[in-house]
Structure 1
Amino acid sequence: MDNRRVFITDVTGRDGFQMEKHWIKTEDKIRIINRIINSGVKRIEATSFVSPKAIPQLRDAKEVIELIKRDNVEVVTLIPNIKGAELAMEADVDEVNVVVSISETHNKKNINKTVDQSVKDIAEINKFVVSNNKRVNVSLATTFGCPFEGIYEVRKVSEIIKKLMSMGLKRFTLADTTGMANPTQVSDFVIHLKTVFPDVQFSLHLHNTRGMGLVNLYSGYNAGIRHFDASLGGIGGCPFAPGATGNVCLEDVVHMLHYMNIPLDPDIDELIKAAKQMETLLGYKLPGQVMRAGISTATFES
């Protein structure tokens, strides 16, 4: 396999839709997710088995999982606890994604638990999911800094990874939850963590809060990351962090990497069509750039 190849996890169905205040019909969610799948994206974080009281927008998780196209696609769901894990196993997802913050303050606001409590919960979840022959990925929220606690040293991230690896976990997402990272920091963190933990599969989950999403992604790529999250149109964000805006935009990421001759699967033209369809559905202007400007090789009559 080409070691330059990039693998994208689309998070529109979960991180994207969870921030939408107005109810999106289940059939519309399925239509958008299936268009993303049809573009060539092979890994989808489709929804979350979270309490409907916490995030009402995702109360149709079971129906979404049942009705999206699943041929040759890995389906991931975010889960908050063992109950969510049980529902995910019933839905026969390929992987569950659990979240723990590097920041005590953010973890308390996001999950209402201390970091140590969350780590213990993840141990229980991992044991249960592995017994069902499925995988667990751990997203490390606020990896690059927290709006409540500021920027911290990479060793703070390492300490939590060590605890989780002792439980057998080897898949981690470094999440810039509120877009605080800069390219030098991303590169430094990634190089350090890949050196200390050579057997771990790391991915990057970046937000474009301060306009550095794409450059941070490319910095991570140059430091050795090949797995990235993105959402169609750049929608999404963390509902428990002030000022948090959307994820790096799926079609913008694919466009950039494609024209840099970096191998990846999704078709940019299909993603632009899907983003425009979603903009019409949501009824407001999305942050994505390529969906508006067109691909960089397009020509127009003078």
Structure 2
Amino acid sequence: MHFPKMVEITEVGPRDGLQNEAQFVPTEQKKKLIEQLVKTGVRRIETASFVHPRAVPQMADAQEIVAFSKSLGLDFLVLTPNMKALEMALAVGVQQIAVFVGASETFNERNIRRSIADSLQECEEMFRIAKEQGLFVRGYVSMCFSCPYEGAISYEQVARVVSHFVQHGVDEISIGDTNGQATPKIVYERFTRLREDYPNTKFIAHFHDTNGFAYANTIAALQAGITAFDSSVGGLGGCPFSPGATGNISTNKLVELMHKMGIATGIDEEKLLATSKYAHKIIM
């Protein structure tokens, strides 16, 4: 087996980890969580999402969180699911954005109330504007392995979205096991084929741990040549539009796994453990 010397970890806890929490986490506590994450050595954090507060109440303070992230000099991403969100992000000087489209038609319609075709069309204009403004663009592809509404997702369904993202100049693409049902076999096969078909594209693995397979899937992704991962401090998270989906893969466990295999992350495990305890405290 072949393992890299180092992996890149993007911490998604402040956005993807907290978005599903029913009780609003006070803004000052979110700021403290972000500040503690920075002190662990995490180099990049997804901190907020520009969505309507009625859809995701937890993200109602996005502008204030962005201002705080900028004050730290932080390398951070924000989620901008539509044109209005992009306009809001540009207005406050965001430098990195993320957009998402589901590989599952049903999930995409339930999540953002649009067909995949309509979502991709809007993405074209968003990517054009973002690039004109010099922004870094991440594309999320959700439900890349299976879907709670449609069952198994084919490679062709995933490639439809990936191809569009690549054609319109995204800087990286995060491949999501949104409902946490993937297995190492399909993870290895899917990432291997994606890297063969899009050799110049940077892919990130984004696993949820619903079935307890996320860490096995991480090894499979490593074997397929993936060296960048999304994770959430303390395993916080879940998708509000994916019934039964539980938390993201835990940054703590991911870092521990990498370190035990001699793979560097640049993250301090002890500081991360303390931050994880704080993250769970603020959602109780």
TM over 0.5: yes
How many pairs are equivalent?
A: 282
**Distance in 2 of aligned mates of 1:158 and 1:170:** 16
Aligned residue number for residue 145 of structure 1: 146
Aligned residue number for residue 63 of structure 1: 64
C-alpha deviation, 1:123, in angstroms: 0.6
| Letter paired with 1:211 | G
Q: Spell out, residue by residue over 1:135-178, the C-alpha distance to the aligned partner (whole angstroms, 9 max, x if none).
A: 11110000111111111221221232223322223421100000
On the 8 A contact 1:170/1:199 being kept in 2, the answer is no
Aligned residue number for residue 86 of structure 2: 85
C-alpha deviation, 1:125, in angstroms: 0.7
SS in 1 for 2:114: coil
On the 8 A contact 2:18/2:58 being kept in 1, the answer is yes
C-alpha deviation, 1:69, in angstroms: 6.3
**Distance in 1 of aligned mates of 2:259 and 2:20:** 29
Aligned residue number for residue 107 of structure 1: 108
| Letter paired with 1:266 | I
Aligned residue number for residue 74 of structure 1: 75
Aligned residue number for residue 281 of structure 2: 280
Aligned residue number for residue 29 of structure 1: 30
Matches within 5 A, 1:206-245: 206-245=207-246
**Distance in 2 of aligned mates of 1:34 and 1:174:** 27
1:162 aligns with 2:160: no
List runs of 5+ in structure 1 lacking aligned partners.
284-302
**Distance in 1 of aligned mates of 2:70 and 2:269:** 20
C-alpha deviation, 1:13, in angstroms: 0.9
On the 8 A contact 1:42/1:72 being kept in 2, the answer is no
Aligned residue number for residue 130 of structure 1: 131
On the 8 A contact 2:145/2:153 being kept in 1, the answer is yes
On the 8 A contact 1:10/1:232 being kept in 2, the answer is yes
**Distance in 2 of aligned mates of 1:249 and 1:74:** 20
1:247 aligns with 2:238: no
SS in 1 for 2:15: helix
Aligned residue number for residue 118 of structure 2: 117
SS in 2 for 1:107: helix
SS in 2 for 1:168: coil
- Greater mean deviation of Cα atoms: 154-163 or 4-13: 154-163
C-alpha deviation, 1:70, in angstroms: 5.5
Structure 1 pair 37–141 and aligned structure 2 pair: CA distance change class (3 A): same
**Distance in 2 of aligned mates of 1:249 and 1:172:** 20
| Letter paired with 1:200 | T
On the 8 A contact 1:172/1:200 being kept in 2, the answer is yes
Aligned residue number for residue 269 of structure 2: 268
1:204 aligns with 2:218: no
| Letter paired with 1:263 | A
**TM-score w.r.t. length of structure 2:** 0.96
Aligned-residue RMSD, C-alpha? 1.4
SS in 1 for 2:140: strand
Q: Spell out, residue by residue over 1:79-110, the C-alpha distance to the aligned partner (whole angstroms, 9 max, x if none).
A: 11111111112232231110100000000000
List runs of 5+ in structure 2 lacking aligned partners.
none
On the 8 A contact 2:104/2:153 being kept in 1, the answer is no
For the pair shown, the structure with the greater C-alpha radius of gyration is 1
| Letter paired with 1:17 | L
SS in 2 for 1:19: coil
On the 8 A contact 2:20/2:240 being kept in 1, the answer is yes
| Letter paired with 1:269 | E
**Distance in 2 of aligned mates of 1:120 and 1:163:** 9
**Distance in 1 of aligned mates of 2:71 and 2:249:** 24
